[in-house]
Structure 1
Amino acid sequence: MSGRVDFPGANCPSHHVPLPTAGTTARDLVSSPPMLRRLTLPVVLMFTMCIAGFEAWHTERSTVVALATADTVASPSAATPLLSARRAPVWLQRPRADAALVSALDAVMAASPPDTCLVVRDNGRVLYSRNAILPLVPASTVKLLTAFAATEQLGRTATFDTLAVAGAAPQAGVVAGNLWVVGGGDPILSTKDYVDRFGQPQPFTNVAALVDRIVAAGVTQVLGDIIGDESRYDTRRYVSTWDPSFIAGNESGPLSALAMNDGFSVYPKSKFNSSATPATDPAQLAASVIRDQLVGRGIRVTGAARSGRAPATTVEVARVTANLGDIVIEMLGQSDNFTAESLTKELGFKVGGEGSTAAGVAATRDILAKAGLPLDNVSIVDGSGLDRSNRLTCTLLAAVLERLGAASDIAKALPVAGKSGTLAERFVGSAAAGRIRAKTGSLRNSRALAGFADAGAASDQRTLTFAYIANQTNLNIDANLKVQDQLGLGLVSYPQGTTLAQLAPQ
């Protein structure tokens, strides 16, 4: 094999027409004799295309190597021909644009605590990396890992079914015995009034739909109890290592495979659950709400509402179904801790045969490892990020986001700056509004933001991937939010560099 390496642009002409020297300026070229002036732009374009061809060849070659390393079988293809003049501005812009971005992000890091990491990538190319593998408390950005693991393991079309079953099929509209409501782990099973309090549209499974289907099945009487079955998961209501203040403050409702309204029996009219009352028996609460709605629809129920396990052999009377996509949208958009912990237990149930937090966390880590994601310095303790023992790196978050891609269902489920979810009231009226989709993270002493930024003008737009985590004792929350605003504006302004117009004769 020859040691010669051929690349686009290797045979570009280097004679016949004198090229501009290092000291030549655009003004010098414009003031040159007419013949040289006419030749200036073609020569400059030819010269830059040659170099751009080499740059493109080098980039494509690097991309192939990187993709092969990641076990990706798809071959990269160039949307624009390698020697197209359209490539010249990109190559010429890159050094100045990168330098401007680095300067802006250096200012972000300078205004952040020492324990801060920041990684920014453009389609795999690292634009910025500081403290990339520093393990930090990530707060709710852990939910990105939970969403990734659930989608990878369960599949994007996975469903969560809540069933109404009986010992025998209804006869002449009569259920001769108990009617069980069997929980399938649907964390967004709710009543409409509970969801309406939050003031933003969000997916939920309306419990009234289950009642409608029981009625549609022809049931007119239940000669027994309505019994809630939560046996799919364990009955540990909270993660044992959480700060007790999170439980007292209702940062999550009590966990259950059959929970309604996040497990709260009483809740305020406002969107905040801090004053809500957790149910001592979430499955019994769900059974009670369904019993009341059945009676309200004219169904005679002779027994009470309670919790208990359904018999091994039953007949389905009705069901309602939630899909994983809607559950992920609700979890990421509202940063719902209850939903994240429920998904974690579902992962434990499906992977390890045990619907527990410990089994779910082990499953999540195993799924991430099998996906080849970087887990050095990473510690995952729960699925929501409430536990302060969680440790993630910006390298991992950026890698997960890049693996998902900006067009993925999970990316589309992220809050949008100035428009939706936990970013609805941030970046309002700024250049970043509508152009950042990201998961927020907020705990005492920890703030985080990780997601995608639509950068550049419409004619040259690209999507950057970024991850930012800041930790500090007594972290100034307001000050750090302003730093994150600065980060967002810096990202969406990229690239800022030389344009073709600046190369043309004036």
Structure 2
Amino acid sequence: MRHTIDSVIRKSVFPFLLLFVTVFAWFNAASLDRQSGKDFQNFLPAEKDSTLATPLFSARRVPVFLQAPIADKELKTELEKIVAQLPGLSCVNVLEDGRVIYERLSNEPVVPASTQKLLTAIALLDVFGPDHKFTTRVLSKTQPVNGLIEGDLWLIGGGDPLLMTAKYAERYKDPFPYTNIKDLVMLVVSDGINEIRGAVVGDESLFDEKRFVETWPERFRHTDQKQSGPLSALSLNAGFTRWDPIKESNGFNTPADDPAKYAADVFEELLEDNGIEVEEGAKSGLAPDDAFFEIARIDSPSMLEIISKMLLGSDNTTAEILLKGLSARFEAQGTSLGGINIVADSLNKSGYQMDGVVIADASGLDYGNRVTCMLLTELLDKGIYSSDLKQSLPVTGETGTLRKRLVETPAEGRVRGKTGSLNGVISLAGTVDTIFDRNLSFAFVTNFDGEKNRIRSLHDQIILEFIEYPKGPSLEVLAPIYVK
């Protein structure tokens, strides 16, 4: 009996609620018509008048309100079929302008792999701003006299992760702005210097000398898998002395034992190639306080450009150098732990949902990281830097880690996303431009024991469902019809 009464009440109230919304919208439209006059008439198609075939109290007056629940229900039905096949612990979240379209365990903390870089990127933009640049300087204790510098020449690392030689930069398929160390050499040459009666000394003292994050798995810390170069404030070619000229992966690369000395070695060689005699061999060390004569300086690309490079190829070395750079901005010396605390503080102050989130590094190599799918989608969907973040992501079938993903499918060129992959982890977070000109933010992370390719295939199937959103009656079908 109670059920029958409730049903009658609901059926009685709904028409009045719909009537209220419709009449309110009608009066607002009438008010706008009076204010805009001829401008409003110009807005209507010239060949049609304003006679409506749809009755005033028709449900077609509220098309958007009707379309969303129908489309969301259909998407949910299709996604549930796919998500049910995901093994292990999987979180999924889909947003459109802050509205949750679909979620499954979206607040469950999971290991993110490289989607961790999204947290790092937002914190970097918040703390440094998109236009910040890092500076590498050349100093001496004495001013040049007749082209001669008495004593050492100090190459001071400023935390630029993209200080490179042209040969190293050319190994990447996607072109990107970088700091060419030869340009810094040519600034020294242009100053009229022709002899250095000392050595080139690399100074990396802006950061500590810990080459890797201490909580990483053993295979990452001792470079067996070379997922990152040795971390340094004076990092040339990501700290690698030799590299595969064709493959972007670091598997055949040789890390420098002393990154600052390696940078000084290359700098000295380039000086000599360009006619400057250097008396002593390159080395690393701390510049003395009285080495304050600036011979040359060079700035890095902007922070936004560096972040784009980091996300495009999932550059672990760049991520971890930038993390120490965050720390060095506020502390005497940059450390990974200091940077971790700053990232957490930035995200908390920005109002993101941080319950259960644990930050263990910048790159996502650490299994101690925990994020939620809700947080990943929030980073892409809200905040003053979400647009910058989205534009920095790889594109399906075109660039970066998504170059070979979803090729020759309706999703090609329509998805920007950050991939993640570790043993037992597959993740993807990004945005989709649907065929109906809607933009969705999404994240899915799967922690599992099993076969990666199958999970990646299921993730791709989810993306393909997004592409056709919103299914169901179109706005044109639901909207009022104008007739002559």
- Same topology, TM > 0.5: yes
- Matching residue's letter, 1:309: L
Does the 8 Å CA contact 2:411/2:467 hold for their aligned counterparts?
yes
Does the 8 Å CA contact 1:268/1:276 hold for their aligned counterparts?
yes
Does the 8 Å CA contact 1:92/1:497 hold for their aligned counterparts?
no
Deviation at 1:349, TM superposition (A): 1.3
Partner of 1:259: 235
Partner of 1:445: 424
If the length of structure 2 is used for normalisation, what is the TM-score? Answer: 0.86
Q: 1:500 to 1:250 in 2, by over 3 A?
A: closer
Partner of 1:20: none
Q: Distance in 2 between matches of 1:167 and 1:360?
A: 32
Partner of 2:253: 276
Equivalent of residue 330 in structure 1, options 289, 292, 309:
309
Equivalent of residue 461 in structure 2, options 468, 483, 486:
486
Deviation at 1:406, TM superposition (A): 8.6
352-361 or 420-429: bigger deviation? 352-361
Q: Cα deviations across residues 225-278 of structure 1 (Å, max 9, x unaligned)? A: 000000000000011111122221110010000011110111122322112111
- Matching residue's letter, 1:127: I
**Does 1:468 pair with 2:468?**
no
Deviation at 1:105, TM superposition (A): 1.7
Aligned to 2:307, the other structure's residue is in SS state helix
Partner of 1:65: none
Q: 1:411 to 1:206 in 2, by over 3 A?
A: same
Aligned to 2:53, the other structure's residue is in SS state helix
Deviation at 1:12, TM superposition (A): 7.8
Does the 8 Å CA contact 1:120/1:464 hold for their aligned counterparts?
yes
Partner of 2:364: 385
- Matching residue's letter, 1:362: N
Q: Distance in 2 between matches of 1:155 and 1:48?
A: 47
Partner of 1:162: 136
Partner of 1:10: 23
Name structure 1 gaps, 5 residues minimum. 14-38, 53-87
- Matching residue's letter, 1:390: N
| 1:175-194 matched pairs, under 5 angstroms | 175-194=149-168
Equivalent of residue 242 in structure 1, options 216, 220, 236:
216
Aligned to 1:103, the other structure's residue is in SS state helix
162-171 or 441-450: bigger deviation? 162-171
**Does 1:100 pair with 2:81?**
no
| 1:62-461 matched pairs, under 5 angstroms | 88=63, 90-246=64-220, 247-271=223-247, 272-313=249-290, 314-322=292-300, 323-404=302-383, 408-457=387-436, 461=437
Q: Distance in 2 between matches of 1:286 and 1:395?
A: 42
Does the 8 Å CA contact 2:121/2:307 hold for their aligned counterparts?
yes
Deviation at 1:365, TM superposition (A): 0.5
Aligned to 1:381, the other structure's residue is in SS state coil
104-113 or 421-430: bigger deviation? 104-113
- Matching residue's letter, 2:71: A
Deviation at 1:48, TM superposition (A): 3.2
132-141 or 267-276: bigger deviation? 267-276
Aligned residues: 436
Name structure 2 gaps, 5 residues minimum. 1-16, 27-49
Aligned to 2:58, the other structure's residue is in SS state helix
Q: Distance in 1 between matches of 2:164 and 2:25?
A: 67
Q: Distance in 1 between matches of 2:409 and 2:237?
A: 35
Aligned to 2:201, the other structure's residue is in SS state strand
Q: Distance in 2 between matches of 1:45 and 1:205?
A: 65
RMSD between aligned residues: 2.3
If the length of structure 1 is used for normalisation, what is the TM-score? Answer: 0.82
- Matching residue's letter, 1:94: A
Task: Name which structure has the greater RCO, CA cutoff 8 Å, separation 6+.
Answer: 2
Aligned to 2:109, the other structure's residue is in SS state coil
Q: 1:219 to 1:124 in 2, by over 3 A?
A: same
Q: Cα deviations across residues 408-453 of structure 1 (Å, max 9, x unaligned)? A: 2221110111100110111111111111111110101001000111
**Does 1:43 pair with 2:54?**
yes
Does the 8 Å CA contact 1:238/1:255 hold for their aligned counterparts?
yes
Q: Cα deviations across residues 139-180 of structure 1 (Å, max 9, x unaligned)? A: 001100111111101111111011111112212221121110
Q: 1:444 to 1:228 in 2, by over 3 A?
A: same
Does the 8 Å CA contact 2:134/2:159 hold for their aligned counterparts?
yes
Does the 8 Å CA contact 1:406/1:463 hold for their aligned counterparts?
no
Partner of 1:30: none
Partner of 1:73: none
Partner of 2:36: none
Runs of 4+ in 1 over 3 A off after TM superposition: 5-8, 10-13, 351-354, 404-407, 500-505
Q: Distance in 1 between matches of 2:409 and 2:324?
A: 39
Percent identity for Structure 1 against Structure 2: 40
